[in-house]
Structure 1
Amino acid sequence: MSGHLPLHHKSHIGDSISNGARKMNLVAKGLRMYNIARAMLYIRRRRTVVDQYVHRKTGEEPPISSAWEAQMIRPLSDKGVGTPGSFVGRRFQIAELSGLETLRISALGLYRAFINGRRVGDDQLTPGWTAYDRRLSYQVYDVADLLVEGENAIEVWLADGWLRSPLMWTGFGKENVWGDHIGAIAELRDRPGGGLIVATDEAWRSGEIPVRKSGIYFGEVYDARVVLEMTHGVAALPFDHSTLVAHECGPVRELDALVPVKSWEDAEGRTIFDFGQNVGGYVALTLKGEKGSSIIVEHAEILDQQGQFYNVNYRSAEAKLEYILAGDSEERYRPLFTFQGFRYARVTINGSAELAAIVSVPITSVPEPRATFTSSNPLVNRLVENTIWSQRANFIEVPTDCPQRDERLGWTGDAQVFAATACYLADSSGILTKFVRDMMVDQGEDGSIAHVSPNPLRLKPSPEFNNWAGSTGWGDAISVIPWAVYLHYGDTAILEEAFAAMTRWNDFVWSISNGPIVRPPAKWDGRGFTFGDWLQPQNDWLKAVPTMGDDAAATIYLYISCIQILEIARHIGKSAAVEKFDQRAMAVRAAFQQEFITPTGRLLYDDQSSYALAFLHDLIPEEHDEAAKRYFKATIDRSHGRIGTGFIGTPALLPALVKIGEPDLAARVFLQEEVPGWLAQVKRGATTIWERWDGIKADGSIFEPAMNSYNHYAYGAVCQWLFEAVAGFRPDADAPGFRHIIFEPTIIPSLSPVTASHDARIGRIEAAWTVTGDVVEYVVTVPERSEGSLLLAEEYRDIVVDGARLEPQSEGKARCRLAPGTHRITFRNSRNSH
């Protein structure tokens, strides 16, 4: 489906059923003319999407800036959500080609456009997913090589997509969230911003397409026997053109296809294919058979304990494809308007048909990897790879929680803990900036930030859960994500754009209990309900493990918010806000210490997350520092050296242990291979990051399926620690975008050799170290347009930088500047080897 219409597809582009055959002849003639015209064109432009995103980043004006003349039109052939998709189309004349023709297009729902029977662009799931009532993306395509002089034809296929598909889970789901009607808006011009050739208006016609049903969770039914006929007219929809925005992130792209690594038949004669990798995407089929035969494809992430196909955890998401053959010699199909999360596909054939080939096609908004990390431990290496695959599968237009079940929502908590990792692994500035803007649209009048964005409940609230907003740790994405984007890409624009939303959020959290201690309500529908340290594990022992209280979690995050907004205000020159949030931060800090720290230095809830977050964010007073460290280490001993943190505590755990001078303990927690633990998932065959530490329990049984995803990126946030602590490079807030790089490695001898790289916009950053006995060789590369600083902890002695001895400091860490280029550093590690 990436080039021409499907091999079986027949299109009657005309004004009625009766003249359909004549119109087919005109299209065929047009295609012949196209081949001649193409050879005569003296200008050969690149065939790609006009990158509005790049123009925005560089401060240039987009190439198309004229006001829209097109109308948003809906096909009168459309019968509503869950019914066959429709197209709108028309014929038009071009007297002379300029070679600069562009199509500017968007839709309510999802669209796929064709000119003279050939597909426009190769983006997937356009126009994407935003808060459609206030922000609707459009795309711009070079279409000169699709046009001919004389008569041309255009079709825009439309389907429900995120606009109309039921969203959220059973009993809570909403359909037609942003509107009841699918529609298209498009205008073809003779050059970017130039004269209008054709635009959507009420002269267009409509009809049904072979997609007989589609939905984000449902999947797709495609009947190749259906011939396009213009059976209906169109109607103009009331539409606010000011909601149209140039597509803000990279388009969704297909990655290289994955062939099955194994296949077998089950007891009912269905064939199961294992593609070896859990992905977000779809299958592509090549098949032949008799007209009317069909093939059904179901999807799953895992097999059960008996090795049987298992997708109970998809809940109400059918995630199923059905293709009905036209009876051509060979037919090819991949879904147009849906995607699934899967590793396994189960194929059922009805009638006389033969499956010649099947592949898995991953899709993502972040197709280009920007980082590498390898060590001597293959489980660690696979963990990094799993995180990359989870980001790909969940960065499809919106940073979602999972790509498979009846959810696939832009959970703000997941995104905020993962944002920095996302920026290392891929260029995530566009999708994260877009996500921040959708959060701003969804922000409540009281300053609350939605739990998910785009938020299906803003326009259609639930009586049970109201507007689904206001959780600390989740709503804090409104400041955490812009700060991560600033650190990695050096652009203050998103800080300034989101600053008012950040401050309103902070005021909202303060108002929950009207003061520095936040006491969230217990009920889900309460104002300021918090998820706290979501999915904090209980381990497999009868003895309960302490967990973090919601009041402590919310109060700590109020402090984090204050400090972060204070820093942002400093960087964008808002002095009054600096003073306000400095005073508020100090009030929260003092209140936290009084409320949650005992006179002996033990934290009230005595759990790993409380200590990790408190130490990492400097909430422990000096007089309790040593005692709190002992209590912190005791929480890990009680958990038998295993993880005891949930969504908000996990990213803080290892950095906090390193900060308090316990890198060996951090290494032991990270490298242990039992549940709960990062490497336990890998040992159990994970190819992506799981939602739950115990998604598959120690005995191999599957956790209760009501909430059990095997493709959730949140716990992959540990990769930030691998880059910043283990490989040892990070950005500097005072020279963001890696204009100044801080190199500060944490040596874990059992991982030697370690190599890592990151392709920042300023250039490639590299770091590698090897350990021989107690001697460490650390080699780093500083990009040409950057500079670096080396920081080494006190236990690292006899430091030599590029052949010159670095004299020890009287106290604290050793430091030196690093010019652009490659540097060789050696030192001795006086700490006992792990």
Structure 2
Amino acid sequence: MHDIRDKHAPSQAHAHWVAQMVHPLADQGVETPASFISKDFELSAVTGDEVLRISALGLYRCFINGKRVGNDLLTPGWTSYDARLSYQSYAVADLLVPGRNHIEIWLADGWLRSQMMWGEHPIFNTWGDKIAAIAELRSGGAAPLLLTDTSWQSGELPIRKSGIYFGEVFDARIAAKVSAGTEALSFDPAILIPHETTPVRELAPLPVVKSWPDAEGRNVYDFGQNMGGYVAFTVTGEAGATVSVEHAEVLDQDGAFYNGNYRTAAARIDYTLSGTGEEHYRPHFTFQGFRYARVTITGNARITAIEAVPISSVTEAKASFTSGNPLVDRLVLNTLWSQRANFIEVPTDCPQRDERLGWTGDAQVFAGTACYLGDSHGFLTKWIRDVIVDQRPDGAVPHVVPDPTRQQPEHYPGFFGSTGWGDAIAIVPWQLYLHYGDANILREALPAMTKWVDFVWSISDGPIVNPPRFWGGRGFSFGDWLQPKGPSAKPLPTIGDDAAATIYLFITSTLVGRIATIAGDAALAARMAKMAAEVKAAFAREFITASGRLCYDDQTSYALAFLHDLIPDEHVEAAKRYFKATIARAEGRIGTGFIGTPALLPALVKIGEPGLAASVFLQEEVPGWLYQVKKGATTIWERWDAIQADGSIYNPQMNSYNHYAYGAVCQWLFEGVAGFQPDASDPGFATVIFAPTIIAELSPVAASHDSTNGTIRAGWTLDGNQVRYDIEVPQGARGVLRLSAEYRDVIVDGQPHQSGADRELAAGPHHITFTYEAPEHAAFAKSRVNARTP
């Protein structure tokens, strides 16, 4: 028995559905016991090509003759349920027998109706208040052998309560038995679509690396790795004894179990023993974000085995990066683990607290990195289609997708329209085009991209965007979210919302114009180019002084402006000096938040300051990438200072230890340091551009990426001032070597090569050597902190 990826287009997939969406009458509503529907059925024979197509409102698991159908988790997945509902297809002949068969579909609240959102106004029953299932068993093109209808029966399950944020309560003493019938719901099968991405699956389990009893006698287990998943355990004991599992990402300053940052998410498992010998349990319809588990046993019971089971839609790593700095290598691994934990059906911000939402800003800054680290093609394509569904009529894009507030906006009015966040509608498809050569997603999303750009222009009816300050205002912007502000006695400058919004209007209008050209819409391309030109001119008038200083004079302003060519030629040299001064004032540390951080190091390299980029990247104090690694992080933190220098925990109201946004720096490690990237004019790595940035402290560097066009490899070693750069162009692809003009004495495959000139490379391995003069790394004495001018 295996799953089948239905290749039908979404518009055709529902045409032959004849089953009904069936609700168990045993169901009592949200946060009550999970239910099942079941039916006995007869087969005259088993032909070998029987396929079960199945979906649900809520989450489902299916069993035929007592054996589970498939091993996918959290099915049917998470989409904007009112418009798009995934179904799965499974070949099930090996589960069937001639004669009498029994099918049972377990149903639980899931994302459909368990708690979404947080604080004083959590949302329940977001996309509906009734769980239900739809299924058809077919053999070839014949009439259905079985379908869901009101002849099915229903009953309660041993799962007494479950929820995405809550966890799961399971009473093994309760046997599932029929207690009620079913009813057919009004349901439009036109919204059914074949599952568009890799299913959520279990990864290799992680053993306990350390355990100890706390002061109350509860055992605390450390699995050594923060993750998204669940605990699996084996227990023996008397009927009625209970095992309660709580989860945490970190220990507090005193080394005690701590999960105050989970807020209202209970994130717990309660298991009541049946008393029938060895009992094995893992949750069915939930997951947690955690590294530590605290287990409380009530009654006569004993845990005989316990492990942590990560789950993810990204089951295979598609890239590797190693260097001479183990902290950097761990940073890359931390980013991969954060992607795994937050790529569970939807690209979420975090997997642990009462949030776990598809924040658009996080996804847009991380999409490029995501496509390197894992196969993200189907995953992000699916999500973009939900972004399009949730887009408001005026073009505003929600802050989170799927959007729980769209149908219940009363407590979260105006939860849409932020620049830097809504731009995901264009930036994510562009990354899919670069990495996978997918022009179809560009064409599919182009109307929505255009509506978004026009919405941003309309916020202030012109090229300078002035977002409202208050939450819920039309066009409210998060700006450069969580941008560090330096010492409280004298905070450092931060970018204003108007500059951030205006820059992003330029970025996306330029990009949409480019996409329109690819899609063959010359008129739209011209309109977007005209808009982008107006924004660029207005930005120079509004935000650049006569001396070449940007008005907010902060790292994010300069990084984004330089990276996207918003600095007029006459101001470039002065702006470079001002840019470097912002880093000096920050004592060589990061001064950027969510939107500025991915731009910072590429911008410094672009202005000819690779040494400064290296210094900022490699410094180990807060705020800094390597600070959190030194503090023991095994995933990326939401805040630069999530754990203070003295070991104390930052404010738990918004403090996740598994947030991938700052891990976007890994894109620079692959594209900048190892030096390979896709060519926008020949995407999908049909042409691979090789352009390394040598950072002496990282030697030796070795990186690879399993692209859709084959495996790319690149690595370099520095010996004195001599660099050996070894690369491999995949078979069927072409390479372009684009070395900096500052690299001298270049030899390519034994032949001299002119520095600064492109060199075409055939498929296969290539060996390049050149001379490299290391730049001086900046030293930032505290006496320079108050520097005001270059």
Shorter-chain TM-score range: over 0.9
SS at match of 1:196: coil
Rounded Cα–Cα distance in structure 2 between residues aligned with 1:195 and 1:285: 43
Rounded Cα–Cα distance in structure 1 between residues aligned with 2:34 and 2:487: 49
CA offset at residue 807 of structure 1?
A: 2.9
Q: 1:263 aligns with which of 194, 211, 230?
A: 211
Matched residue, 2:180:
232
Rounded Cα–Cα distance in structure 2 between residues aligned with 1:790 and 1:190: 54
Q: Is the 8 A contact 1:795 1:831 kept in 2?
A: no
Matched residue, 1:718:
665
Matched residue, 2:340:
392
Residues 1:548 and 2:501 aligned together:
no
Q: Is the 8 A contact 1:115 1:147 kept in 2?
A: yes
Deviations 1:3-29, CA, capped at 9 Å, x for gaps: xxxxxxxxxxxxxxxxxxxxxxxxxxx
Q: Is the 8 A contact 2:59 2:285 kept in 1?
A: yes
SS at match of 1:700: coil
Matched residue, 1:440:
388
SS at match of 2:405: helix
Matched residue, 1:587:
534
Matched residue, 1:621:
568
CA offset at residue 700 of structure 1?
A: 1.4
Matched residue, 2:46:
97
Matched residue, 1:430:
378
Q: Is the 8 A contact 2:227 2:291 kept in 1?
A: yes
Q: 1:819 aligns with which of 718, 742, 762?
A: 762
Which amino acid in structure 1 is aligned with residue 25 of structure 2?
L
Rounded Cα–Cα distance in structure 1 between residues aligned with 2:48 and 2:90: 13
Mapping for residues 474-623 of structure 1, pairs under 5 Å: 474-540=421-487, 542-623=489-570
Rounded Cα–Cα distance in structure 2 between residues aligned with 1:171 and 1:60: 38
Q: 2:114 aligns with which of 155, 165, 179?
A: 165
Rounded Cα–Cα distance in structure 2 between residues aligned with 1:224 and 1:373: 46
CA offset at residue 190 of structure 1?
A: 1.8
Rounded Cα–Cα distance in structure 1 between residues aligned with 2:646 and 2:581: 27
Rounded Cα–Cα distance in structure 2 between residues aligned with 1:372 and 1:540: 37
Rounded Cα–Cα distance in structure 1 between residues aligned with 2:681 and 2:315: 30
Q: Is the 8 A contact 2:116 2:354 kept in 1?
A: yes
Q: 2:687 aligns with which of 740, 749, 774?
A: 740
Q: 1:642 to 1:634 in 2, by over 3 A?
A: same
Mapping for residues 112-127 of structure 1, pairs under 5 Å: 112-127=61-76
Matched residue, 2:29:
80
Matched residue, 1:152:
101
Which amino acid in structure 2 is aligned with residue 424 of structure 1?
Y
Rounded Cα–Cα distance in structure 2 between residues aligned with 1:426 and 1:51: 19
Rounded Cα–Cα distance in structure 2 between residues aligned with 1:425 and 1:467: 34
Matched residue, 1:50:
4
Q: Is the 8 A contact 2:361 2:420 kept in 1?
A: yes
Residues 1:694 and 2:641 aligned together:
yes
Matched residue, 1:468:
415
Q: Is the 8 A contact 2:62 2:103 kept in 1?
A: yes
Q: Is the 8 A contact 1:533 1:646 kept in 2?
A: yes
Matched residue, 2:192:
244
Rounded Cα–Cα distance in structure 1 between residues aligned with 2:659 and 2:346: 13
Residues 1:330 and 2:273 aligned together:
no
Q: Is the 8 A contact 2:598 2:664 kept in 1?
A: yes
Residues 1:404 and 2:357 aligned together:
no
Which amino acid in structure 1 is aligned with residue 653 of structure 2?
A
Matched residue, 1:36:
none
Rounded Cα–Cα distance in structure 2 between residues aligned with 1:237 and 1:541: 58
Q: Structure 1 stretches of 5 or more lacking a match?
A: 1-46
Which amino acid in structure 2 is aligned with residue 478 of structure 1?
I
Rounded Cα–Cα distance in structure 1 between residues aligned with 2:176 and 2:208: 34
CA offset at residue 66 of structure 1?
A: 5.5
Rounded Cα–Cα distance in structure 2 between residues aligned with 1:703 and 1:830: 42
Which amino acid in structure 2 is aligned with residue 255 of structure 1?
L
Matched residue, 1:137:
86
Which amino acid in structure 2 is aligned with residue 475 of structure 1?
G
Residues 1:200 and 2:148 aligned together:
yes
Matched residue, 1:182:
131
Rounded Cα–Cα distance in structure 2 between residues aligned with 1:831 and 1:166: 54
Residues 1:830 and 2:773 aligned together:
yes
CA offset at residue 170 of structure 1?
A: 1.8
Residues 1:339 and 2:292 aligned together:
no
Rounded Cα–Cα distance in structure 1 between residues aligned with 2:11 and 2:160: 40
Which amino acid in structure 1 is aligned with residue 74 of structure 2?
L
* TM-score for both structures, normalised by structure 1: 0.92
SS at match of 1:755: strand
Mapping for residues 652-801 of structure 1, pairs under 5 Å: 652-801=599-748
Which amino acid in structure 2 is aligned with residue 590 of structure 1?
A
Q: Is the 8 A contact 2:443 2:519 kept in 1?
A: yes
SS at match of 1:231: strand
SS at match of 1:457: coil
Q: Is the 8 A contact 1:255 1:362 kept in 2?
A: yes
Rounded Cα–Cα distance in structure 2 between residues aligned with 1:375 and 1:807: 28
Deviations 1:621-678, CA, capped at 9 Å, x for gaps: 0000000000000000000000000000000000000000000000000000000000
Rounded Cα–Cα distance in structure 2 between residues aligned with 1:320 and 1:816: 58
Which amino acid in structure 2 is aligned with residue 167 of structure 1?
M
CA offset at residue 541 of structure 1?
A: 5.3
Rounded Cα–Cα distance in structure 1 between residues aligned with 2:776 and 2:584: 20
Aligned length: 777
SS at match of 1:89: strand
Residues 1:368 and 2:326 aligned together:
no
CA offset at residue 490 of structure 1?
A: 0.3
Q: Is the 8 A contact 1:788 1:817 kept in 2?
A: yes
Which amino acid in structure 2 is aligned with residue 520 of structure 1?
P
Q: Is the 8 A contact 2:466 2:497 kept in 1?
A: yes
Indicate the RMSD between aligned Cα atoms, in angstroms: 1.2
Q: Is the 8 A contact 2:414 2:474 kept in 1?
A: no
Which amino acid in structure 1 is aligned with residue 358 of structure 2?
G
Q: 1:743 to 1:511 in 2, by over 3 A?
A: same
Rounded Cα–Cα distance in structure 2 between residues aligned with 1:746 and 1:195: 62
Rounded Cα–Cα distance in structure 1 between residues aligned with 2:374 and 2:521: 31
SS at match of 2:246: strand
SS at match of 1:307: coil
SS at match of 2:758: strand
Rounded Cα–Cα distance in structure 1 between residues aligned with 2:618 and 2:488: 21
Rounded Cα–Cα distance in structure 2 between residues aligned with 1:726 and 1:48: 41
